[in-house]
Amino acid sequence: MSDDVRTAVSGDEPALIPYITAGDPSLAATAEYVEALAAGGADVIELGMPFSEPIADGPTIQDAIQRSLEAGTTPERYFELVESLDVDVPIVCMTYYNLLYQYGESGPDESDYERLRRFVARAAEAGVSGLIIPDLPVDESDPLRRACDEYGVDLIFIVAPTTTDERLAKMREQVSGFVYVQARLGTTGAQADVSDATHESLTRLAEWEVPKAVGFGVSEGQHATEIVEAGAAGVVAGSVFVDIIAGGDDVANRLEAKARELKQGALDGATTDTPKAGK
Amino acid sequence: MSTTKFGEYGGQYVPEVLMPAIEELTDAYERYVLDNEDGFMDEFRERLADFGGRPTPIQRADRLSERYDAEVYLKREDLLHGGAHKLNNALGQVLLARYMGKERIVAETGAGQHGTATAMAAAHLDMPCEIYMGKRDIRRQRPNVFRMRLNGAEVNPVTVGRGTLKEAINETMRDWATNVEDTHYVIGSIVGPHPFPRMVRDFHSVIGEEIRDGVQKKTGGLPDSLVACAGGGSNTMGTFHDLVPDEEVSLFAVEAGGDELVVDDEEGVAPHSASLSTGSEGVLHGARTKLLQDADGQIVESHSVSSGLDYAGVGPELSHLVDEGRVTPVNVDDTAALEAFHRLSRTEGIIPALESAHALAFLEDELGPDADGEHDLGEVIVVNVSGRGDKDLEAVIEETEKRDLDAAPSMEVMYE
Fold classified for A5-268: TIM Barrel (3.20.20)
Residue A212 C-beta-side C-alpha neighbours within 13 Å = 29
Measured from the Cβ of residue A197, the count of other Cβ atoms closer than 10 Å reads: 18
Q: Is A33 on the interface with B (CB under 8 A)?
A: no
For A160, the closest of B17, B268, B295 (CB atoms) is: B17
CATH number of B58-83+205-404: 3.40.50.1100
Give the minimum alpha-carbon distance from B26 to chain A in angstroms, rounded to a whole number: 14
Q: Which residue of A has its CA nearest to B312?
A: A53
User: C-alpha angle with apex B125: B122 to B128, nearest 5 degrees?
Assistant: 45
pLDDT score, position B165: 84
Within an 8 Å CB–CB cutoff, is residue A51 touching chain B?
yes
What tens digit of pLDDT does each residue of A222-235 get? Answer: 999 999 999 999 99
CB-CB: which of B19, B161, B295 is closest to A137?
B19
Q: Would the pLDDT of A1 be above 50?
A: no
Using a CB–CB cutoff of 8 Å, tell me whether A135 touches chain B: yes
Return the higher-pLDDT residue of A15 and B1: A15
Region A68-84: mean pLDDT is 98
Is B108 an annotated catalytic residue? yes
| Angstroms from B1 CA to nearest CA on chain A | 13
pLDDT of residue A279: 40
Most confident of A169-178, A198-207, B245-254: B245-254
Confirm or reject contact between B263 and chain A (CB < 8 A). no
Per-window interface: B 289-318 vs A, CB < 8 A: 291, 293, 295-299
Question: Mean of the pLDDT values across residues A22-27?
Answer: 98
Asked if A64 reaches chain B (Cβ–Cβ under 8 Å), the answer is no
Please count the residues of chain A: 279
Q: Do B173 and A55 touch (CB under 8 A)?
A: yes
* Percent of chain A whose pLDDT exceeds 90: 82
> Taking every pair of C-alpha atoms in chain B, what is the biggest distance, in angstroms?
63
pLDDT mean across residues, chain A? 92
Q: Look at B174 and A55 and tell me if their CB atoms are within 8 Å.
A: yes
Percent of chain B, pLDDT > 70? 98
Q: Looking at residue A271, what is its pLDDT?
A: 83
| Interface contact flag, B15 A134, Cβ < 8 Å | yes
**Strands annotated E in B154-249:** 154-158, 183-185, 225-229
pLDDT at position A275: 52
Lowest mean pLDDT among A119-123, A212-216, B193-197, B287-291: A212-216
Can you give the pLDDT at residue B12? 97
pLDDT tens digit sequence for A141-158: 999 999 999 999 999 999
Residues of chain B with pLDDT under 50: none
Q: Is B301 helix (H, G, I), strand (E, B) or coil?
A: strand
What pLDDT is stored for residue B255 in this prediction?
96
Extents of the domains making up chain A: 5-268
Nearest chain A residue (CA) to B295: A102
Contact (CB, 8 A) for B211 and B223 = yes
Q: State residue B228's pLDDT score.
A: 98
Residue ranges of domains in chain B: 16-50+86-200, 58-83+205-404
pLDDT tens figures, A88-104: 999 999 999 999 999 99
Asked if A102's CB is within 8 angstroms of B299's CB, the reply is no
CB B91 within 8 A of CB B48: yes
Q: What per-residue confidence (pLDDT) applies to B345?
A: 97
| Residue in B178, B286, B293 nearest the CB of A102 | B293
pLDDT at B200 (0 to 100): 98
Query: Which pLDDT score is estimated for A234?
Result: 97
* Range A16-43 average pLDDT: 98
Compute the nearest-CA separation of A51 from chain B (Å): 6
Which pLDDT score, from 0 to 100, does residue A54 have? 94
CATH architecture of the region B16-50+86-200 = 3-Layer(aba) Sandwich (3.40)
Close Cβ partners of B382 (under 8 Å, ≥ 6 residues apart): B58, B73, B74, B75, B211, B215, B223, B225, B226, B227, B239
Chain B residues in contact with A138 (beta carbon < 8 A): 16
In degrees and rounded to multiples of 5, residue B389 shows phi and psi of: -95, 5
The b/e string for A37-70 (b: 16+ C-beta within 10 A; e otherwise) is bbebbbbbbbbbbbbbbbbbbbebbbbbbbbbbe
Cβ separation A162–B298 shorter than 8 A: no
pLDDT band at A272 (very low <50, low <70, confident <90, very high): low
pLDDT given at position A278: 43
Flag if A186 and B268 touch (Cβ within 8 Å): no
- The pLDDT, as a whole number, for residue B110 is 87
A180 forms beta bridges with A158, A213
* CA pseudo-torsion sign B275, B277, B283, B286: positive
Distance from CA of B20 to the nearest CA of A (A): 6
Chain A CB within 8 Å of residue B12 CB: yes
* Identity of the residue in A53, A163, A167 whose CB atom sits nearest the CB atom of B166: A53
Map A169-186 to HEC letters: HHHHHHCCCCEEEECCCC
Render B373-404 in DSSP notation, one character per residue. --S---SEEEEEE-BBSGGGHHHHHHHHHHS-
Element (H, E) at A237: strand A234-237
Q: Which residues of B touch A106 (CB under 8 A)?
A: none
Residue numbers in B near A69 (CB within 8 A): 268, 298
List CB contacts (< 8 A) between A98 and chain B.
282-284, 291, 293, 297, 299
Q: Is the ipTM of this complex over 0.90?
A: yes
- End-to-end Cα distance, chain A: 18
